[in-house]
């Protein structure tokens, strides 16, 4: 299977963007899909149990340098997504990307441009990109 690039995805989204032309509709759908993705992840913990969240204060020794932090910090996740939860979360994140792409198009911003600019910033700032 060939890799799909962001420009082809943008063309696909634009061709199927019928109902939600208004920026207001797109903003609310984007926000809704963020919530649905968060809810799907939450249900993986609370309903399925395939993953667990074990959150605690991140260790930050006084003499730790920036290279140490990657090794010290945790995702707070235990376990792995089961196939069902993975499928649901992937679907919700896909809808989220669809509406993000639609917002970009409506605002006259290329998703590819955003990816390239962000990639450049991350590469330039490296480990100091703490956003």
Measured between alpha carbons, how far is residue 127 from residues 52, 67, 85, 123, 124 in Å? 28, 8, 32, 9, 9
Enumerate domains of the chain plus CATH numbers: 7-126 (1.10.287)
Question: Tokens for 91?
Answer: 């679907």
Q: What is the pLDDT of residues 13-33, one digit of tens each?
A: 988 887 778 999 999 999 999
What CA–CA distance (Å, rounded) separates 93 from 36?
Answer: 9
pTM, two decimal places: 0.84
Average confidence (pLDDT) over 65-71: 81
């Amino acid at each position: 299977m060939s890799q799909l690039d962001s420009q082809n995805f943008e063309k696909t989204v634009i061709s199927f963007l019928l109902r939600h032309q208004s920026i207001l509709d797109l903003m609310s759908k984007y926000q809704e899909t963020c919530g649905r993705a968060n809810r799907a992840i939450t249900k993986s913990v609370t309903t399925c149990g395939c993953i667990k969240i074990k959150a605690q204060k991140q260790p930050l020794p006084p003499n730790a340098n920036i290279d140490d932090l990657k090794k010290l910090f945790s995702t707070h996740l235990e376990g792995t997504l089961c196939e069902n939860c993975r499928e649901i979360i992937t679907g919700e994140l896909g809808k989220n990307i669809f509406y993000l792409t639609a917002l970009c198009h409506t605002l006259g911003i290329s998703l590819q441009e955003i990816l390239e600019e962000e990639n450049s910033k991350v590469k330039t700032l490296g480990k100091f990109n703490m956003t």
